[in-house]
Amino acid sequence: MASPSSSSGSLLTILFLFCLPAWCSVSGFKICAFNVQSFGDSKIRNTEVVHTLVRIVSRCDVCLLQEVRDTKRKAVPLLMKALNSYNSKHQYDYVASHRLGRTSSYQEQYVFVYRTSSVIVTDQYQYPDTLLGDEDAFSREPFIVRLRAPKTAIKEFVLVPQHTTPSNATKEIDALYDVFLEIKRRWKTETVMFLGDFNADCGYLAKKNRQRVRLYSNQAFLWLIGDKDDTTVRDSTSCAYDRIVVHEESFAGALVPQSAKPFNFAKEYGLTEEQALVVSDHYPVEVELRAWSAQIGGNSPLLIFLIFTAVFIST
Q: Which residues are catalytic?
A: 108, 163
Measured distance CA(185)–CA(178) in Å, rounded: 11
Cβ count near 91 (within 10 Å): 12
Pair 164, 197: CB distance under 8 Å = yes
CA distances from 273 to 235, 279, 283, 297 (A): 8, 10, 12, 43
Pair 98, 124: CB distance under 8 Å = no
Name all contacts of 126-132 with Cβ < 8 Å and 24+ positions apart: 126/97, 126/98, 127/179, 127/182, 131/178, 131/182, 132/175, 132/178
Measured distance CA(95)–CA(33) in Å, rounded: 14
Work out the end-to-end distance of the chain between its first and last CA atoms, rounded to an integer number of angstroms. 18
Helices (H), 192-300: 214-217, 248-251, 265-268, 273-279
131 burial level (CB within 10 Å; 0-12, 13-18, 19+): middle
Q: Please choose, from the candidates 66, 146, 131, the residue with its C-alpha nearest in 3D space to the C-alpha of residue 100.
A: 66
Q: How many residues does the chain have?
A: 315
Measured distance CA(297)–CA(191) in Å, rounded: 23
